[in-house]
Amino acid sequence: MSESVIKLQGVWKIFGDRADEAMAAVQQRGLTKPEVLNEFGCVVGIADCTFSVERGEIFCVMGLSGSGKSTMVRHLNRLIEPTAGSIEVLGKDMLALGGEELREMRAMHIGMVFQHMALLPHRTVRDNVGFPLQVRGEPKSKRWEVSQQCLNLVNLEGYEDRFPRELSGGMQQRVGLARALASNPEVLLMDEPFSALDPLIRRQLQDQFMALSAELQKTTVFITHDLDEAIRIGNRIAIMKDGMIVQIGTPEDIVTNPADEYVKDFVEGISKLKLVFAHSIMEKISDYKPARGENLTKSPRTPHDTDLDHLIDIATTTTQPIVIQDSAGKDVGVINKSTLLKGIQGGKA
Amino acid sequence: MTDTGLELGPKSLDSSVGEFVKENSDYYSTEFAKIQGKTGFAWSWNTMAAIFGPLWGALRGLWGFFWTFLVLELFALVQIGRGLWGDLGASQMARWERLEGLVAKRQQQAKELLQQGDNEGANAALNVAGNLRKAADNARDAAEAASSEAVTILVVGLVLLVIVKVIEGFYANVNYEKQYLRWRAAPEVQTGLSWPSAAFGSFLLLGIWPLTLYRFTVSKPDALVTEFPIKKQFFTPTANWLEGGFDWLAVEFGNVFKGVTAAIRAVLDGLEVILVATPWPVVMLVIVVTAWRLAGPRVAVFSAAALAYLAMFGLWEVSMITVALLGAAAFLCLLFGIPLGIWFGKKPRAYTIALPVLDFMQTMPAFVYLIPIIAFFGTGKPPGVLATIIFAMPPVIRLTALGMRQVPEGTKEAAVAFGCTRWQLLTNVEIPLAMPSIMTGINQTILMCLSMVVIASLIGAGGLGANILEALQYAAKGQGMLAGLAILFCAMVIDRIIQGMYRRKTGQA
Ligand SMILES: Nc1ncnc2c1ncn2[C@@H]1O[C@H](COP(=O)(O)OP(=O)(O)OP(=O)(O)O)[C@@H](O)[C@H]1O
Ligand SMILES: [Mg+2]
């Protein structure tokens, strides 16, 4: 686990006609993203990205929309040419490869899964999965054999002869994954593969993917804008903002030790205690039977959209149950210690 | 300024109206508030607009207002002018004078005949003279009536002018408020008063009104006003010069034109051998079976009936000649059109250059480019095919390019990410995904080829078009009808078969 499969060193990408000028200016004067946009009309896609990914690792890249995640991952198989910096994959300098070598690298060693599946609508599932092999010039028998194996891996046996449009979104994404696995690449690039799916299917596919990845020992760069997902499946996480990587670390590092306010915002957002509110766990005030010694008139009162974190703060200062008021200020519900504890445990009473 | 869009308090509205109108902002603020407070038409009066009409519009940058009322006021002014100084009975008066002259002539004739002793002749002449006199009297009455109408026309003109002014007065603020809303969305709209605009408006007014008034109110306007002063001085030499140019090109590039002709003829001959020389039962059978396989039994039955029609009326051979012409044109259209379309689809810059040419090919009436075709290629079938190609090629190029551009970027990117070469990308991804659009283009091109067949027969391309042309020349309705139906059936069979093919293709993939 110590050999680096992917190495990026100071990679920049600036979009626009005057990218080179802008690059020079950035290196001399250290302009920020808005300044570059102002002065040169160029968009900074990624700025000074440096990191490496070890063999067998799942490396998550996390960031808001527009932070440059897709741009970054497309550099790894050179779908996008960097403006500056060096990129090394599997010991090869990607930027030095000629057309033929680059195609071979893509066809043999780097698989990719896309956010919007990008399957070929006029081909069956089998032919979609076999496409990378066809590109390599493998005969039909080999293609069919391999695509069958890959479809089995993602639990899609029986759908070989269907067309993509006959499949649900989750199934299509599994076809995309099978296609990426078909050429048996050492490196997998996954650009928000599960973002377009509903939470249940997403969780299912995450589990499936983690099991597969443990079994097949691929090196994976996994893009997501969802910190929960990154924490679930990443060995390490890189957090991007405005094209820059602001922190790289294990999930624990990130959550317990956020590098700056931006990361802290993310990490805060992830706490369950901030996601569940009083009105979803309270008992109706009309149904509530005060226990002995309880007097609701003495209870502290708080609005219905108080979160669990806050409720705990309130509960520690009183022995009375907490009365919940609606937005008009009317008493509508009650939370006592046991409902609160249950709420923290399961998010629901 | 609280410009949230949610809370448009009267204050912020006022200040932005002021910014827009610049002059008279208090007046317009109240009027706009009134208009915006109403759901229906708001009665808001603008005296300046009523007085100055189009010029007010020009000053405020309301060009729609300017042109509308320029025309309406002009119409009213023409009526007034006609009433005031127009020579209304002039034409009737002239007729009366002419008739009087004729009457005098006839009477003179009668007198002479009487002197010669030809009583009958004299009577006849007198009769004619009497009739002419009646007509002359009628004409005089009409002339008098017309000139007495002058007052009525004058009054109508005045009333019209007043009505137009009233409409201007009531419409001005409503129109100006709309302009204000446009300005809020697009700041480049003119604000306030613009004296250059007003000057331009006055210039237009002075150019348009006096001449038009003169033309419509004076009975015999000067020829300078009614006719362009230049006749054929430039036309004839230019036409001659062009003629020389055509001749020179025809001689200089004779070999190129001959080569093109030969190539087209080769394709055409091949198709004619297949369609005309092959025994008719074989051709029929092949067509019907093709229709069945590609488009199903109903189209097959229809095709059989259509072919039977052609055969029964002795139009078989000439129809097959037509189909061969069409086939050659369509084949060449697709042979060049699809690759061109693919290229244009991938190279947007080349496409922007080609677009005007395609537009030109499609909008230019076929009769016009028949002339250079005859000049360079002579008459006969190959030039006919060429004319058809020019007319019918644009749709397949356009729709192929469209299809290529509609292939999702993401799908192409995925293919490249798996190591596709450009050729693999083209054949495995781009063309299959563009196929529905390409098929539509092919279908349109073929049908346009067919519609061109009649026109191509003008330069001797033969086939059913020639039959129709002949029928047109001799007004042979029956023959024309039969040949026309034959063309219709050919078109329908081809169209149905292609549609069936298309449906099979897109239905499967
Ligand atoms: N081809 C391009 N031309 C110009 N600018 C681009 C191009 N591609 C991306 N950008 C810019 O680069 C920045 C990063 O875009 P990118 O697609 O990498 O974001 P992302 O993090 O993947 O966002 P999302 O989560 O929405 O996919 C954005 O500001 C975007 O506008
Ligand atoms: Mg993205």
Chain A residues within 8 A of B507 when measuring between CB atoms? none
Q: Quick check: A1 pLDDT over 60?
A: no
Does A114 sit in the ligand 1 pocket, CB within 6 Å? no
Q: What's the confidence (pLDDT) of residue A246?
A: 92
- Residue A348 reports pLDDT greater than 50: no
C-alpha A33/C-alpha A14 separation (Å) is 10
Q: Taking 90 as the threshold, does the pLDDT of residue A99 lie above it?
A: no
Indicate the domain borders of chain B. 10-86+153-226, 90-148, 250-506
| Residue A106 at interface with chain B, using a CB cutoff of 8 Å | yes
| Closest residue in chain A to residue B508, using alpha carbons only | A122
Q: What is the pLDDT along chain B (509 residues), one digit of tens a residue?
A: 444 444 444 555 667 888 898 888 889 999 998 898 888 888 899 999 999 999 999 999 999 999 999 999 999 999 999 888 877 777 788 888 888 888 888 888 888 888 888 888 888 888 888 888 898 888 888 888 887 888 889 999 999 999 999 999 999 999 999 999 999 888 888 888 999 999 999 999 999 999 998 888 887 788 888 888 887 888 999 999 998 998 898 888 889 999 999 999 999 999 988 888 889 899 999 999 999 998 888 999 999 999 999 999 989 989 999 889 888 999 999 999 999 999 999 999 999 999 999 988 888 888 888 888 888 888 888 999 998 998 899 999 999 999 999 999 999 999 999 999 999 999 999 999 998 899 889 988 988 888 887 788 888 888 888 888 888 888 888 988 999 899 889 888 988 888 887 777 665 54
Q: Do B419 and A120 touch (CB under 8 A)?
A: no
Angle at B223 (CA atoms; ends B217, B227), nearest 5 degrees? 105
CA distance A103 to chain B (A): 4
Q: Is B232 left (phi over 0), alpha (psi -120 to 50) or beta?
A: alpha
For residue B408, the chain A residues in CB contact (below 8 A) are: 118
Three-class HEC string of A85-152:
EEEEECCEEHHHCCHHHHHHHHHHCEEEECCCCCCCCCCCHHHHHCHHHHHCCCCHHHHHHHHHHHHH
Q: Is A134 in Cβ contact with B414 (below 8 Å)? A: no
Q: How many CB atoms lie within 10 A of CB B117?
A: 8
Residue A56's region, left for phi above 0, alpha for psi from -120 to 50, else beta, is left
Nearest Cβ partner for B432 among A107, A122, A135? A122
Look at residue B7 in the predicted model and tell me its pLDDT.
47
Ligand 1 midpoint to CA A67 (Å): 7
* Token pair listed for B233: 């001085």
The residue with tokens 């915006």 is: B36
Residues in chain A: 349
Inter-residue contact B16 to B163 (CB < 8 Å): no
Q: How confident is the model at residue A349 (pLDDT cuts 50, 70, 90)?
A: very low
B interface with A, Cβ–Cβ < 8 A, is 408, 410-411, 413-421, 424, 428-429, 432-433, 435, 509
> According to the model, what pLDDT value does residue A73 have?
93
* Number of C-beta neighbours around residue B33 at 10 A: 15
* A103 at interface of B, judged by CB pairs closer than 8 A: yes
Cβ of A217 less than 6 Å from ligand 1: no
Per-residue pLDDT tens for A228-277?
888 888 889 999 998 899 999 888 778 777 888 888 888 776 655 655 67
Asked if B412 and B374 count as a contact pair (C-beta separation under 8 A), the reply is: no
Domain A278-346: give its CATH code: 3.10.580.10
Work out which ligand 1 atom sits closest to the CA atom of A68. Answer: 18
A125 touching B, CB under 8 A? no
Both tokens assigned to B123: 């009577």
HSE-up of residue B494 (Cα within 13 Å, Cβ side): 24
According to the model, what pLDDT value does residue A87 have? Answer: 93
Q: In CATH, which superfamily holds the domain spanning B250-506?
A: MetI-like (1.10.3720.10)
> Which are the contacts of A172, defined by CB distance < 8 A and separation ≥ 6?
A117, A119, A164
Domain-wise residue ranges, chain A = 54-109+185-268, 278-346
Q: Which residue has the higher pLDDT, A72 or B224?
A: A72
Which value does ipTM take for this structure? 0.75
- Helix, coil or strand: residue B94: helix
Q: What is the pLDDT of residue B97?
A: 87
Smallest CA separation from ligand 1 atom 4, residue: A15
Query: Of A7, A46, A3, which Cα lies nearest the Cα of A23?
Result: A46
Interatomic CA distance for residues B203 and B66, integer angstroms: 12
- Give CA–CA dist A50/A71, Å, rounded: 14
SS (H, E, C) B191-218: CCCCHHHHHHHHHHHHHHHHHHHHHHHC
Q: Is B20 exposed, middle or buried (0-12, 13-18, 19+ CB in 10 A)?
A: buried
Q: List the single range of A186-200, A284-298, B327-341, B478-492 with lowest mean pLDDT.
A: A284-298
Question: What is the reported pLDDT for A273?
Answer: 65
Residues of B with Cβ-Cβ distance to A103 under 8 angstroms: 419-421
Residue with tokens 């488009």: B295
Q: How far is A175 from chain B (nearest CA, A)?
A: 13
- A63's enclosing H/E stretch is strand A58-63
Range A61-88 average pLDDT: 92
Q: Which CATH class is domain A54-109+185-268?
A: alpha beta
Q: Are B433 and A121 in contact (CB under 8 A)?
A: yes
Q: Given CB atoms, is A173 within the 8 Å cutoff of chain B?
A: no
Provide the pLDDT for residue B3.
Answer: 44
Ligand 1 contact, A43 CB (< 6 A): yes
